[in-house]
Chains A and B, each alone.
Chain A
Amino acid sequence: MKVDSTIIKKEKNIAQRSTMHNFLGKMKSEAIAYLFISPWLIGFLLFIIGPMIASLFLSFTKYDLLSSPIWVGFDNYLTMFTQDQRFWTALKVTFLFVLVSVPLKLVFALFIAMLFAKKYRGVNAYRTIYYIPSIIGGSVAVAVMWKQLFGLDGAINSIIAHFGINGPNWIAHPDYALSTLIILVVWQFGSPMLIFLAGLKQIPNELYEAAAVDGASKFSQFLKITIPMLTPIIFFNLIMQMVNGFMTFTQSFLITSGGPLDRTLFYAVYLYEKGFTHFQMGYASAMAWILLIIVAVFTSLIFKSSSLWVYYESEGGK
């Protein structure tokens, strides 16, 4: 009898200890997991969430970095929307830039990718060469070079002079300055091209064969097979290029300095000017939040509309 009870006691003890053990084990694996993601988590809190809250607060203040921030309520936003002509100019320029350069870049990327999807000799070498502008395009080196290329005495004018055309200084001309920046961005279509190329290779050849048997023309094959099958990739490229487009800074800052007559005053350039030239940190923060809202609205519009035009094979089509 006595022996029995000790055994039971012992068993109880073991059971207890093992649940305790289990619990500790779970805690431990949880702690290990958090340790693994801690570099990101700390950075996220310290460099993303913290600054975002701070910038939201600052957007309601007047702050020059030296004296402490003064609460001004919605003044920054009101000034921006009702009095600041240059804010509207910056918005207009940025929208125009994104709406022209992103589709143009993607059309080029898709067109060239379709050429390279064919199995001609030397395609890999061509692909490499076409990709080169993408790897260097964002650098200061290319920006300063671009400025000279399209300058009054630059190579472009020297080329068209052969055809008897006297070109202007494209960079300094109000009508052409933005176009030179758009060309610079479209020139870097290499990355979306490679992504499209990978997507094209995923499309099963049987689809085209079947369509050809049914007598579909090349063009209708493109419209009815290629485009639908590529929509997930178009969707992805569209979002990434758009977000990048709204943030464009270096090119405008270095090549045209926002000019002439503010015709290339990109949003990011104007924000920089407000924050780091005029030290209006409050106003610049308010601008940053407006930019965030714009990008969020655009992204969610593309996401929302995606169910209408993006085709996912695994769902049996939409």
Chain B
Amino acid sequence: MKKDKVLRSFFFHFFVIGFGLVMVYPILWSISSSLKPEFEIFKNASSLIPSEIKWDNYVKGWSGFGKITFGTFFFNSGFITFFVVLGTLFSSTLVAFGFARLKFHFKSILFVLLLATIMLPSQVTLIPQYIMFHKIGWVNTYLPLIVPAFIGGVPFFIFLLIQFIKGLPRELDEAAIIDGCSTFGVFWRIILPLMKPAIATVAIFSFYWTWDDFMTPLIYLNDTNMFTVSLGLRMFSDPSSVTAWGQMFAMSVLSLVPTFTIFLFFQKYLVDGIATTGIK
């Protein structure tokens, strides 16, 4: 019986580690390629160990295109992401509180509409939105990327927060109201502090989706000096430019560093958030 258990445990670890290696291989391969000298990347490509470690790719890659460095792209991505996360938190916490705790006319209809928009393909609104932003002269600015986060945000996040608030005991609100707290006071002093874990989940995913977003910047941004990291990386695979693969790998790896850092530090919120809400 005991022997059987050991054997089973062995097979479990054997399989999980083996399969896990296959899963992370592409990532390890990118990191290793980013450190290889240019000529070595596609010569004996599968190898994960560079013959010598070269940081050249990072230095040259960082210098970017023309006079625009990857520093600019990282700054732009950071700027946009910061405001989108801020806007998303602002709008989704307020709206979620409204739906979860307050009474108003047409609430159930509006809630159904909110749920329906979760499943609305973004392509449906893409073109008229573009036309609208084009008409008011917002194309080639960051406004079409940032403003929608402040008004509206992502319906899925609102839904997630509503579910979370509904799980908080109502007695807390009632006690606060008896003590003379205003509606906003209940939101600000009671509910918001208790929502921290859910807010963290929303903030992290909002960060990921904005940082990785490709289609929205692609459509709205034209000037290279306004590009995000996603658009910058794409310039490496532009067939008209002589492609420096090593630099491409280096900057790709670098673009994943913020994502990984957040993942390492806030893993708990992520895993719990997904498990309880079923995000993405």
Q: Identify the A interface with B (CB < 8 A).
A: 29-30, 32-34, 36-37, 39-44, 46-48, 50-52, 54-55, 58, 65, 115, 118, 120-122, 126-136, 138-142, 144-149, 151, 153-159, 162, 187, 191, 194-195, 197-198, 233, 236-237, 239-240, 243-244, 246-247, 249-250, 253-254, 268, 271-272, 275-276, 281, 284-285, 287-289, 291-292, 295, 299
Residue of B nearest to A63 (CB): B131
Interface assignment of B132: CB less than 8 Å from any CB of chain A: yes
Rounded to whole angstroms, the CA-CA distance of A236 and B274 in the bound complex is: 13
Q: Which residue of A lies closest to B184 (CB)?
A: A32
Question: Contacts A58-B128, A136-B256 given: A30-B271 contact, CB under 8 Å?
Answer: no
Contact between A284 and B259 (Cβ–Cβ < 8 Å)? no
Would A47 and B267 count as touching, CB distance under 8 A?
Answer: no
Q: How far is the CB of A111 from chain B (nearest CB, A)?
A: 10
Say whether B13 contacts A122, CB under 8 Å.
yes
Contacts known (A36-B102, A43-B148, A136-B27); A129 close to B12, Cβ less than 8 A:
no
8 shortest interchain CB distances as A-B pairs: A43-B152, A36-B98, A198-B275, A51-B128, A141-B252, A153-B42, A39-B91, A158-B46
Docked-complex contact B127 and A275, CB < 8 angstroms: yes
Q: Which residues of A contact B25 (CB under 8 A)?
A: 155
Considering only residues 132-156 of chain B, those with a C-beta below 8 Å from chain A are 132, 134, 148, 150-153, 155
* Other A-B pairs beyond A39-B91, A50-B128, A139-B230, 12, CB < 8 Å: A29-B103, A30-B104, A54-B131, A120-B9, A120-B13, A133-B23, A135-B208, A149-B29, A198-B275, A239-B119, A272-B215, A288-B124
Known interface pairs A30-B104, A148-B245; A55-B127 also in contact (CB < 8 Å): yes
Q: Does B169 contact A (CB under 8 A)?
A: no
Interface centre among A40, A155, A158, A285 (most CB of B within 10 A): A40
Chain A residue contacts of B127, Cβ below 8 A: 51, 55, 58, 275, 281, 284-285, 288
Measured CA separation A244–B279 after assembly (Å):
12
A249 to B94, CA, bound (A): 32
Q: Which of A33, A120, A122 contacts B104 (CB under 8 A)? A: A33
Give, as a whole number of angstroms, the nearest-CB distance from A149 to chain B. 6
Which A residues are CB-close (under 8 A) to B26? Answer: 133, 142, 145-146, 149, 155, 187
| A residues less than 8 Å from B153 (CB atoms) | 39-40, 43
How near does chain A come to B115, taking the closest CB pair, in angstroms? 11
Q: Which residues of B contact A122 (CB under 8 A)?
A: 13
A142 / chain B contacts, CB cutoff of 8 Å:
26, 252
Residue in B27, B90, B94, B114 whose CB lies within 8 Å of A132: B27
B151 A39 Cβ-Cβ under 8 A: yes
Q: A135-B208, A144-B233, A195-B274 are in contact. Are A44 and B113 (CB under 8 A)?
A: yes
A246 contacts which chain B residues (CB < 8 A)?
A: 121
Bound together, the chains give a CA A250 to CA B231 distance in angstroms of 11
Please state if A39 and B20 are interface contacts (CB–CB under 8 Å). Answer: no
B121 partner, pick from A121, A136, A145, A291, beta carbons under 8 A: A291
- C-alpha gap A165/B107 in the complex (Å): 62
Q: Which of B24, B33, B234 contacts A254 (CB 8 A)?
A: B234
A127 to B27, CA, bound (A): 16
Q: Please give me the residue from chain A that is nearest to B254 by CB atom.
A: A141
Known contacts A65-B131, A120-B13, A285-B127, A155 near B46 by CB under 8 Å = yes
How would you classify the secondary structure of chain B's contact residues: helix, strand, loop or mixed? helix
Interface contact A115-B126, CB-CB below 8 Å: no
* Cα separation A30 to B103 with both chains bound (whole Å): 7
> In the complex, are the beta carbons of A36 and B45 less than 8 A apart?
no
A191: which B residues are within 8 A, CB to CB?
274, 279-280
B100 to chain A, nearest CB (A): 10
**Minimum C-beta distance from B25 to chain A (A):** 8
> Chain A nearest CB: distance from B89 CB in Å?
11
Could you say which residues of chain B place their CB within 8 Å of the CB of A30?
103-105
B238 to chain A, nearest CB (A): 11
The B19-68 residues at the A interface (CB cut-off 8 A) are 20, 23-27, 29-30, 33, 42-47
Q: Find the A residue at minimum CB distance from B17.
A: A126
Partner of B214, one of A128, A153, A250: A250
Complex contacts, A195 vs chain B, CB 8 Å: 274-275, 278
Is there an interface contact between A147 and B237, defined as CB atoms closer than 8 Å? yes
Say yes or no: A155-B99 contact (C-beta < 8 A), given A32-B183, A194-B275: no
B120 on the interface (CB 8 Å rule)? yes
CA distance A135 to B90 in the complex (A): 24
Contact indicator A43/B91 (Cβ below 8 Å): yes
Alpha-carbon distance between A42 and B126 when the two chains are bound, in angstroms: 17
Q: A243 contacts B128, CB within 8 Å?
A: no
Tell me whether A37 and B280 are in contact in the complex, defined as CB-CB below 8 angstroms, given that A32-B183, A52-B124 are known contacts: no
- Asked whether A289 and B150 contact (CB < 8 A) given A136-B259, A194-B271, the answer is no
Q: Is the CB of B259 within 8 A of A153?
A: no
* CB of B59, distance to nearest CB on chain A (Å): 18
- Which residues of chain B are near A121, meaning CB under 8 Å? 9
Contact A40 B158 (CB under 8 A): yes
- A33-B103, A43-B152 known; A141 vs B253 contact (CB < 8 Å): yes
18 CB-based A-B contacts, threshold 8 Å: A29-B102, A37-B95, A39-B90, A51-B132, A122-B13, A134-B280, A135-B270, A136-B212, A136-B256, A142-B252, A145-B30, A145-B252, A151-B42, A154-B42, A197-B275, A198-B276, A285-B128, A292-B121
Among B23, B27, B231, B276: residue with most chain A CB under 10 A: B23
